[in-house]
Amino acid sequence: MQRRGSGSPLVLIHGIGHRWQAWEPVLDELAEHHEVLAIDLPGFGKSPVPDGGMPPDMAATVASVAAVFPG
């Protein structure tokens, strides 16, 4: 995971077979206006597969990411 900048939150989610570094070319530019969080989805990059297996759906993954941001 990579977190940069301040402002309104912007969560970047990579495509299948990638990792957060896929966003590296644009992170600094986006961070000029946003708090950017580029994540590795469970089981990708350095993110392990969670105990109990993969989240049941994208909504469960999004809920866990949303918990990182205040409010």
Q: Using CA atoms, how far apart are residues 46 and 69, in angstroms rounded to an integer? A: 21
Residue type, 36: V
Q: Using CA atoms, how far apart are residues 7 and 43, in angstroms rounded to an integer? A: 29
Strand 2-4 with 34-39, pairing: antiparallel
The whole-number pLDDT of residue 71 equals 60
Task: Spell out the domain ranges in the chain.
Answer: 1-44
Q: Using CA atoms, how far apart are residues 55 and 24, in angstroms rounded to an integer? A: 25
Tokens 């301040």 correspond to 6
pLDDT for 1 beyond 90: no
For range 38-45, the mean pLDDT: 86
Two tokens, residue 34:
């946003």
For range 46-70, the mean pLDDT: 78
Average pLDDT, the chain: 87
pLDDT in tens, 5-38: 999 999 998 888 899 999 999 999 999 999 999 9
